[in-house]
Amino acid sequence: MSRPLFYVPAGALDGAVPGTVVDVDGAEGRHAVTVKRLSVGEGVDLADGAGVRAVGTVTSAEGSVLGVAVGSIRREQAPPFRLVLVQALAKGDRDELAAETATELGVDVIVPWQAERSIVRWKGERAEKALAKWRSAVFAAAKQARRARVPEVDPAHDGARLAARVKAARLAVVLHEEATESLSEVLAAVTPDEGAREAEILFIVGPEGGISPAELERFIAAGARLALLGPHVLRSSTAGPAALALAGDRLGRWGGRDGRDAENS
């Protein structure tokens, strides 16, 4: 059975070496002690959410604080390209479901998109609450998947802001049922280079009513390419994760577990 993973604040693992005892408190500590009921001697992983993972053993579990003795530190390198899911806001929490599934499948950044045909609208206080809900869901999904890196969830983009991001990306793909190229064909042209680690590949998913002609024209003008996933029309909650799964395979992300290219200490 896999070791459970708990997140610690940024910087909490800086300077940690084998033998260092790290305390996990707050919500994560309470979950470890009162929900998971971990006991002394059990193996756990700690992560800072930015790629540093500590493999350790529980030394204490009291109240809402878990003590963990570090056995080794793994600094997991970021893979080539930042895979970005641009998910149009959708009704019935389908957009949030897409974000959760995308997290399990290795997405690096999630961008909520206020598309012209989105039925759901994020405005004012509602936008802040909705963004916080997405971030909470992504955090939980990353923990479930035992990821050392928690994907970023950016504030919602409108069409203009998204077009600017498309223009700056290494590749921007609009998943569209009228495309003539397959996603596999589009991804085949992508090759990593020295600057690829921070370069973005965007996968743009429209709302239930589809992407408007004006939006599509704007994205194409900014350099986006249309791509077809397969013979069937997928729901808005399914298209993005399906594209990420294919991209993960094509770009060599599915070769092993997190940490396979890690530096151990």
- What pLDDT, in 10s, does the model give residues 1-21? 689 999 999 999 999 999 999
Helix, strand, or coil here: 87? strand
Strand partners for 96: none
d(CA 1, CA 5): 12
Residue whose pair of structure tokens reads 């793994």 in the numeric block: 74
At 209 the pLDDT is: 86
Average pLDDT of the residues of the chain: 91
pLDDT > 90? residue 177: no
Helices (H) and strands (E) in the chain, counts: 7, 12
pTM flag (> 0.75): yes
Q: What is the pLDDT of residue 260?
A: 41
Q: What's the confidence (pLDDT) of residue 134?
A: 97
Farthest CA pair distance, the chain:
60
253 pLDDT more than 70: yes
Percent of the chain residues past pLDDT 90, beyond the cut:
75
